Structure 1
Amino acid sequence: MKQKSLKKNSILNVIKTLSSIIFPLITFPYISRVLLPTNVGKVNFGSSFISYFSMIASLGITTYAIRECSAVSNDKEKLGKKSSEIFSINICTTIVAYLLLAITLMTFRKLDVYRTLIIIQSTSILFMTLGADWLNTAMEDFKYITIRTLAFQVLSLILMFIFVRDQTDYLKYAAISVFSASGANIANIFYRKRFCKVTFTFDMQWKKHFKPILLLFVMILAQTIFSSADVTMLGIMRSDYEVGIYSTAHKIENIISQVVSSLAWVVMPRMSAYYAERDYEKINDLLRKTLELLMLIGIPAVAGTCMLSKEIVTIVGGNNFIEAALPLSILIFSFAFSLIGGSFLGNMVLLPSGNEKIYMNICCITAVFNVGLNYLLIPKGGACAAAFTTAFSSLLIMILLLIKKDKNIRLDYLKQAMLSPCIGAIAICVFCRLTKTFVSGVFLKTGVCVVGSIIIYGILMIVLKNELCLQTLDTFKARVKK
């Protein structure tokens, strides 16, 4: 297989991620005003509940499959065999997940009011398994992934405005959301034949696959508890309204973090190949460039979100969701800590190198810590307490990952990578504060702050001679001259 350009793949995956950002930015202001906080809370509770069974079905297979399939991507026969084995395991785990879901719905009568909603949302598990999207990622086919995602999101957007017209239409909204996020996987059943033949088989080395898959499963279980426990516990210990407020803040923060995580999925297949060769020179060079990009994008995003939290929440959800501003300001620090922690050291260093056991232990420790802190703080603090525990737990993950870092991985460039973006972030804060003082109107204020901050930040990066920014500028100049 011809090695594809990481730059092109990064751009394609960022486009895909941006479409995933733009889609909710268009739909959520409409949905929040139509469904109102209570029904938004119901849909998010159902989604949080289903995430546990989705995690059982996926069982850590996605990350494992990307790593293993990318290592044999040049051999169609080996790729087909390995893909079929992993796909077969995924089918079995999906059956187990649906059996457990059925038992849970029949056992816990308090879930009766959510039953139809949960059944609709559970179809995403089946679509995810049948699609085996991990094969496209392993083959670095981000062009197809991007085009397919855009097409289904546009179609879903049209369906949403047609069918979701009243607060009682939350079931329709849930169905369309599933279609948008998972329906595109059905196209993979036919498309993946270009890479290899993927079929169900019992002829495999079960033990060989299950040990790393189970380690990744425990890790993802801990991550799922970490990300979903706050919503679930808010629903149980507080109210649907509180869930609606917190999930709005969490959704906005998640939109920002998706851009960062998209870089990890692009880098992971290539990084796995470098680790297989034990080529630490290439590994450290790629990690340095990746971290510089994370800092360049992530740090100003944190500053801007903190300064415009009320305006962002008002634009996205309306005045009914204004209480989500403080949780958003807290949650964005969870994203800040993950720039170095989970997103970089976890997903870009430990997983490609096969050190999932270390990452699993760290995720388990922080998940237990997060649940315990939620149990103590949520009854009194509500959404703000849930946001605080998430941010604090992300800090703990970062610290533990730094302690357990491979000695062959250099981070001596970390301070230099953070310096100019931090100076730019301070300038953004000052500019936004002044703008909010003299400019009125939510949309005008936000627009001036965003456009002005981008211009000021860009100029500062050039003046401060940010290496990545200068390289991008030189590339742009060269293309213009052509």
Structure 2
Amino acid sequence: MSNSFKIHSVKYNFIMNMILRMSSFIFPMITFPYVSRVLLAVGNGKIAFAASVINYFSLFASLGIPTYGVKVCAQVRDDKTNLSRTVHELLFINFICMIISYIVFIIMMFVVPEFSNNSTLLWINSISILLSVAGIEWFYQSIEQYDYITFRNIAFKVLSILLMFLFVHDKSDYIIYGAITILGTVGSNILNIIKLPKYITLKKIGNYCIKKHIKPIIFLFLYSAATMIYTNLDTVMLGFISGDIQVGYYNAAIKLKNILVSVVTALGSVLMPRISYYLTNNFKEKFYEMIKKSFEFIFLIAIPLATYFYFEADSLIIFLAGNGYEQAIPVMRAIIPSIIFIGIGSVTAWQLLIPLGKETYTVLGAIMGGLVDLIINILLIPTYGAIGAAIGTLVAEMVVVSVHLIVLRNELKHISIKKDIIKIFISLIITMFCYYVLINCFSFINIFVRLVITFIVFFGVYLLILFFTRENIIYEYSTVIFGKILHK
């Protein structure tokens, strides 16, 4: 039985995903300045600590299925019966893991003193563990329904912002804000289950084979677990060693970094199901063409973003978080270069190693990165606090990417982007010259106005130079847009 849902073009999916990622950029710009000033560093630190702890339990509840599900469902999406059977099998595994994870969470709540001190927030955040089965975002990604994913997520983000302004007015309202955050992030999961019968058959099909999924799921779980060590362990260790205030400073920098990461990795999440489909059908030329564009996009976006936000860290932190967060400025500068390595790693892991069936090496890279992060945290956090944690994360990301590149050295011979990288660096050098002239002229003006002007000029000059040097992606999309405008 074939499926009849529409598969949109990569460009359409990319636009939808960029809208989603930009909403992830814009909405925090609205919420972060407000909650930073209302809840202060201590309140934000408590919320960040609770979220980081729950992330570990949610990780086990999902057990690598969010990544594996995209890959395996994309391979059989043209056959409704096989697709339905695959979803049933993965949901069964997901449900069992969720039950085990929540039982362990309940036990830990009564055993770990630090958990009982933050019990209310942790119980509220634990709802995300229970809703992990209902999420099935991986299914909608596998059939490339990015318009549905985008509009649903934006609707719940708008709702959470309205609730924030209605109910969060004092530093004691951090528990209310924690609940609103959960609603905004996982509340929409319920809609995913309701919409599921439109695409698959829910009734029993038979001929189930759970066993075949276990090995790849466990490998991806190990990869996700090791990755989470150096993305969440920093916050947890800071909470235990340095207290809520240092967590608050670190969280301020991390929020900005995560916003940029969501923009940098936007294309990768769109391409993974398409890449898996190409490999299954042996379309090698299309596969390598996609990978080349992915690397071009990462360097094109990540390098200038890291550069701009490094130099504007002081203005951004003061504008977004307010006074009292000055100690977050060096933290942001220490961690912001990591978005370049995270971007490269998103291509090497999600678009090369996993589709090629080399999940083992993603685990190896993540474990090595996690161990490096753990060692650096132990050495630096007691003395340097949040800055030490930021350095640990940066070095860990560099280690992960290094492992991936060594493993993929033969596959990377098919991909050449040297000319484009040279164009990017030439454009960036000229852009930095214009930027320095500009900040000397506008150093006396309001922070917000300064940020707007410098951002527009920085990226305007950068993109303009890339257009005139005919950088592949910029020139291709610009000519299409200009062609449509002139045609009208």
TM-score interval, smaller chain: over 0.9
What CA deviation, in whole Å up to 9, does each residue of 1:259-295 have, x standing for no partner? Answer: 1222221000011111223332111111111211222
CA change 1:373–1:199 in 2 (3 A) is farther
Contact 1:87 1:199 in 2 (8 A): no
| Equivalent residue number for residue 242 of structure 1 | 246
Aligned residues: 481
Q: Which shows bigger deviation, 82-91 or 258-267?
A: 258-267
What CA deviation, in whole Å up to 9, does each residue of 1:88-110 have, x standing for no partner? Answer: 11011000110010011111123
1:169 aligns with 2:173: yes
1:382 aligns with 2:390: no
What are the within-5 Å matches in structure 2 for residues 319-334 of structure 1?
Answer: 319-334=323-338
Cα distance in 2, alignment partners of residues 136 and 431 from structure 1: 44
Report the Cα offset of residue 406 of structure 1.
5.7
Report the Cα offset of residue 447 of structure 1.
1.4
What are the within-5 Å matches in structure 2 for residues 66-465 of structure 1?
Answer: 66-198=70-202, 204-340=208-344, 342-405=345-408, 407-410=410-413, 412-439=415-442, 440=444, 441-465=446-470
CA change 1:235–1:100 in 2 (3 A) is same
Contact 1:17 1:262 in 2 (8 A): yes
Report the Cα offset of residue 410 of structure 1.
3.4
Cα distance in 2, alignment partners of residues 248 and 403 from structure 1: 34
Runs of at least 5 residues in structure 1 that lack an aligned partner in the other structure: none
Amino acid aligned to 1:83: V
What CA deviation, in whole Å up to 9, does each residue of 1:409-454 have, x standing for no partner? Answer: 4365232232222222223333333333231221122111101112
SS state of the match for residue 77, structure 2? coil
SS state of the match for residue 165, structure 1? coil
Contact 2:61 2:132 in 1 (8 A): no
Amino acid aligned to 2:348: L
Report the Cα offset of residue 401 of structure 1.
0.9
Cα distance in 2, alignment partners of residues 198 and 352 from structure 1: 27
SS state of the match for residue 481, structure 2? helix
Amino acid aligned to 2:461: I
Cα distance in 2, alignment partners of residues 408 and 421 from structure 1: 23
Cα distance in 2, alignment partners of residues 446 and 143 from structure 1: 31
Contact 1:88 1:201 in 2 (8 A): no
Contact 1:83 1:198 in 2 (8 A): no
Contact 2:341 2:398 in 1 (8 A): yes
Amino acid aligned to 2:272: M
Match of 1:467 among 458, 468, 472: 472
Cα distance in 1, alignment partners of residues 206 and 257 from structure 2: 42
SS state of the match for residue 320, structure 1? coil
Match of 1:28 among 19, 22, 32: 32
What CA deviation, in whole Å up to 9, does each residue of 1:163-212 have, x standing for no partner? Answer: 00110100110011011111111111111211103468997323211111
Contact 2:50 2:118 in 1 (8 A): yes
Contact 1:366 1:397 in 2 (8 A): yes
Amino acid aligned to 2:483: A
Contact 1:152 1:180 in 2 (8 A): yes
Cα distance in 2, alignment partners of residues 198 and 380 from structure 1: 55
Cα distance in 1, alignment partners of residues 334 and 417 from structure 2: 24
- Scaled by the length of structure 1, the TM-score of the pair is 0.97
SS state of the match for residue 235, structure 1? helix
CA change 1:237–1:201 in 2 (3 A) is farther
Cα distance in 2, alignment partners of residues 95 and 412 from structure 1: 44
What's the Cα RMSD here? 1.6
Contact 2:298 2:340 in 1 (8 A): no
Q: Work out the percentage of aligned pairs sharing the same amino acid.
A: 32
| Equivalent residue number for residue 13 of structure 1 | 17
What are the within-5 Å matches in structure 2 for residues 28-67 of structure 1?
Answer: 28-67=32-71
